[in-house]
Amino acid sequence: MERNLRKEKIGVVLSNKMQKSIVVRVQRKVKHPKYGKFLKKNKNFMAHDENNDCNIGDTVKIMETRPLSKNKCWRLVEILERAK
């Protein structure tokens, strides 16, 4: 039995005020269908941070997982860059 590939996203930590949870903003660029200009679209994800080691402004990689709470179905994989 083989497991499906999990989605991964890279974003910036907005909030770490909860216990074992962080809010991550993922930004993507979308081309306007008519004018061709690239627009920035943001989406916030709640992710599980088991050791509470993320700080606001850190760049992190998150991975899809089973639902852990009402609105948390992502988990922290690694911290790519610490906030300066």
* pLDDT at residue 72, as a whole number: 97
Would residue 61 count as lying in a domain? yes
Would residue 2 count as lying in a domain? no
Would residue 15 count as lying in a domain? yes
CATH of the domain at 46: 2.40.50.140
Count of structural domains within the chain: 1
Would residue 1 count as lying in a domain? no
pTM of the model: 0.88
Ordered DSSP codes for 9-36: EEEEEEE--STTEEEEEEEEEEE-TTT-
Would residue 3 count as lying in a domain? no
Structural domain that includes position 47 = 8-81
- Tell me: the pLDDT tens digits for 36-53? 999 999 999 999 999 999
